[in-house]
């Protein structure tokens, strides 16, 4: 019995200090139907994303045009805050034309499922 109470106490303490604890919602914070006008179409709502996101910068480590991939050593980005070396897929393999190891590049990357895809790539030598 004593072991069960210690185990329960330890589990509750871990839960209390967990970073994943979500604050409970109250009915006062949720919108009501009276707050919405009848003409609002929630299916067609789109959020505008600012297009002023700075390009990432890095150095080409390897290029594989046949597979449509490039390996970059890059500085930290908002999407990839750790920086480092990573293999990226490219949206269009023609973007790899003329690039070789050691070239400095600027790029725009998006996450697509479990991989990262370069949407824009420019040589900045």
What is the count of structural domains for the chain? 1
What is the tens place of the pLDDT at every residue in 42-98? 444 444 444 556 789 999 999 999 999 999 999 999 888 888 999 999 999 999 999
Cα 104 to Cα 102: distance, rounded to the nearest angstrom = 6
Say if 87 falls within a structural domain.
yes
Answer whether residue 36 is part of any domain: no
Model pTM? 0.57
64 within a domain of the structure (yes/no): yes
Supply the CATH number for residue 107's domain: 2.40.50.320
32 domain-assigned: no
- pLDDT of amino acid 54: 76
What's the Cα-to-Cα distance from 67 to each of 10, 60, 115, rounded to whole Å? 51, 16, 14
The b/e string for 107-125 (b: 16+ C-beta within 10 A; e otherwise) is bbbeeeeeebebeebeeee
In a domain, 73, yes or no: yes
Residue-range definition of the domain harbouring residue 100: 56-123
3-state helix, strand, coil in the chain (%, to 5): 20, 30, 45
Residue 100 lies in a domain: yes
103 within a domain of the structure (yes/no):
yes
């Amino acid at each position: 019995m004593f072991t069960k109470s210690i185990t329960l106490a330890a589990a509750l303490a871990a839960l209390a200090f967990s970073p994943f604890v979500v604050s409970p919602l109250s009915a006062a914070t949720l919108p009501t139907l009276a707050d919405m006008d009848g003409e609002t179409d929630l299916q067609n709502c789109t959020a505008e994303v600012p297009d002023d996101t700075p390009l990432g910068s890095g150095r080409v480590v390897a290029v594989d045009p046949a597979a449509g991939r490039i390996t970059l050593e890059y500085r930290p980005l908002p999407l990839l805050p750790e920086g480092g070396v990573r293999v990226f897929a490219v949206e269009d393999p023609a973007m790899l034309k003329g690039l070789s190891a050691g070239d400095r590049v600027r790029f725009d990357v998006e996450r697509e499922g479990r991989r990262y895809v370069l949407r824009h790539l420019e040589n900045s030598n």
